[in-house]
Amino acid sequence: MSAAPNNLSPAPHEAADRLREWLRPHQRVFVLTGAGCSTDSGIPDYRDGDGQWKRTPPVTYQAFTAEPLVNARYWARSFIGWPRIAQARPNAAHLALAGWEQQGRLTTLLTQNVDGLHQRAGSRDVIDLHGRLDDVVCLACGDRQPRAAMQERLAALNPDWLGLDAGTAPDGDADLDGHDFSAFRVPPCARCGGMLKPDVVFFGENVPRPRYLQAQEALQASDAVLVVGSSLMVYSGFRFVRSAHEAGMPIAIVNRGRTRADELAGLKLEADAGAVLSAAMS
């Protein structure tokens, strides 16, 4: 059993000292990141400090594939929201983690985010647990295309939507209310005419098993786990922390607000991830 977590809400330099002390004996750190890692890049997170939804939960895979209006609504919102995701830049947290990898302290970075910002920051050993928004896949034939190409096709079919603007939502789309989504046209796969979907794991959909096994293998080769910016309320991420706990691995969490694994962590820091991570390895 882990000791009761040392829950702290200290000043950034104090939090960095605590994290630096925790990191010192560990040479193979497995890092798991969530939406809180990307908020400083202008991408909102999903949950509040108590781990509750801030808005309506994202669309499910079942609704996306079975209900044409839900499918059109998703792509309309994505059409408006995608430019902000494409233009987002890595923040201090992403850059710090990329630096840790270059110093050989971070073995694997498992991210629940789908924005690709870790790779843009320079991280190489990244497992995208829930996929990537910048890829689109055909559910029928498996053909792939860049999200940028899909954006061009959507624009050509829906010129009246080009001038719309709305607030960014967490899952790469935009908050659009009061629009007739039945009028929004979604292109089919250019190869087979099948349904196109962003290459991300929707709610109600399973993480591909090879990806899960890759992450589990990386976890087993590590000697500690650090969670950054995740409430761990989604089981697909939490199960890796639970596995680490069952194996007796030290666990630390840097996250503003409650997480599902607070009782499993030896160190919990309620602090800004970018400031703390940057200072902890300085």
Is the dihedral angle over the CA atoms 269, 275, 279, 282 positive or is it negative? positive
Ligand-binding site membership of 27 (annotated): no
Asked whether residue 9 is marked as a ligand-binding residue, the answer is no
Instruction: Mark whether 130 is an active-site residue.
Output: yes
**Tokens, residue 119:** 């790779």
Q: Is 62 annotated as a binding residue?
A: no
Is 193 a known ligand-binding residue?
no
Angle, CA of 39, 43 and 49, to the nearest 5°: 45
Q: Is 231 one of the annotated binding-site residues?
A: yes
Whole-Å CA distances, 202 to 6, 206, 234, 270: 34, 8, 12, 28
Q: What contacts 56, CB < 8 A, 6 or more positions away?
A: none
The full DSSP string for 229-256 is S----SHHHHHHHHHHHHTT--EEEE-S
The terminus-to-terminus CA distance of the chain in angstroms comes to 32
CA-based R_g, the chain, Å: 20
38 is in an annotated binding site: no
> Among 204, 73, 40, 78, which Cα is nearest to 130's?
204
Q: Say how far apart CA 247 and CA 61 lie, in whole Å.
A: 33
SS3 state of residue 262: helix
HEC sequence for 5-47: CEEECCCHHHHHHHHHHHHCCCCCEEEEECHHHCHHHCCCCCE
Q: Does 214 count as an annotated binding residue?
A: no
Q: Of these residues, 26, 94, 118, 130, which one is catalytic?
A: 130
115 known ligand binder = yes
Is 59 one of the annotated binding-site residues? no
Residue 37 annotated as lining a ligand binding site: no
Annotation-wise, does 71 bind a ligand?
no
Tell me: is residue 142 an annotated ligand-binding position: no
Q: Is 41 among the annotated ligand-binding positions? A: no
Q: Which parts are annotated binding residues for NAD(+)?
A: 112-115, 229-231, 255-257, 273
Q: Which parts are annotated binding residues for Zn(2+)?
A: 138, 141, 189, 192
Q: Which parts are annotated binding residues?
A: 112-115, 138, 141, 189, 192, 229-231, 255-257, 273
The residues carrying an active-site annotation are 130
